[in-house]
Amino acid sequence: MHGFYIYAVTAMLLFCLGLWGLASHKNLLRKIVALNVMAGGVFLLFISIANPDQSGQVDPVPQAMVLTGIVVAISLTAFALFLTRRIHEKTGHAELDTSCSIEDEDG
């Protein structure tokens, strides 16, 4: 049971580190990386839940959820990077700024 607590605390620290990075940075790339760190913490927590007592009986549901989550996280990261690139092309920078507005190229 000791290993479960180590993984659970590490997962919580990863999630909190990603949350701090998400809240403290304006750069969109850093926000995307922070979201991926948060996702890594959630995945680690699910994997630690799959076998908390080290008895050899592994619950396959959390493992399937982690595999599905990894596929979704990769897809959403690619989409977020695409959007960040488009924002950089339109505005010249990739930071969140509420005073900046994106206008159409036609007008």
Note the pLDDT tens digit of each residue in 34-69.
Answer: 999 999 999 999 888 887 666 677 788 888 899 999
Q: Give the whole-angstrom CA distance, residue 57 versus residue 99.
A: 55
Average of pLDDT values for 19-31?
92
19 has a pLDDT exceeding 90: yes
Q: What is the DSSP letter of 5?
A: H
Note the pLDDT tens digit of each residue in 80-103.
Answer: 999 999 988 888 887 876 555 556
22 has a pLDDT exceeding 60: yes
Average of pLDDT values for 71-82?
96
CB 105, CB 94: distance < 8 Å: no
Q: What is the pLDDT of residue 1?
A: 55
> 49: which residues sit within 8 A by CB, 6+ positions away?
59, 62
DSSP secondary structure of 11-41: HHHHHHHHHHHHHH--BHHHHHHHHHHHHHH
Q: What is the pLDDT of residue 105?
A: 55
